[in-house]
Amino acid sequence: MSVLITGATGFVGRALCSRLAADGCHFVPASRAEGNLIWGRLHAVGSIDGLTSWKSALKDCSVVVHLAGRVHVMKDDAADPLALYREVNVQGTLNLARQAAAAGVRRFVFLSSLKVLGEASVLGQPFSAENDVCPIDPYGVSKLEAESALRLLASETGMEIVIIRPPLVYGPGVRANFDLLMRAVARGIPLPLGSIENQRSLVALDNLVDLILICLTHPRAANQIFMVSDGEDLSTPDLVRRMAKAMDAPVRLVRVPVLLLNVFAKLTGKSNAMQRLCENLQVDTSKTIAVLGWKPPISVDEGLRRAVAQYRK
Q: What is the sign, positive or negative, of the torsion defined by CA atoms of 136, 111, 36, 23?
A: positive
Category of 104 on φ-ψ map: left (φ > 0), alpha (ψ -120 to 50) or beta? left
8 A C-beta contact, residue 169 and residue 250: no
Residue 208 CB-half CA count within 13 A: 30
Taking alpha carbons only, the member of 104, 155, 147, 151 closest to residue 1 is 104
8 A C-beta contact, residue 103 and residue 263: no
CA angle, 175 then 115 then 270, to 5°: 55
Angle between helices 11-22 and 205-217 (to 10 degrees): 60
8 A C-beta contact, residue 201 and residue 227: no
Select which of 85, 139, 170, 311 is catalytic.
Answer: 139
State how far the Cα of 3 lies from the Cα of 205, in Å rounded to an integer: 19
Q: What is the sign, positive or negative, of the torsion defined by CA atoms of 28, 29, 33, 37?
A: negative
Collapsing DSSP states into helix, strand and coil, what is residue 2?
strand
State how far the Cα of 158 lies from the Cα of 151, in Å rounded to an integer: 10
State how far the Cα of 9 lies from the Cα of 170, in Å rounded to an integer: 16
Taking alpha carbons only, the member of 83, 89, 149 closest to residue 113 is 89
DSSP state letter for 132: P
Active site residue 139: yes
Active site residues: 139
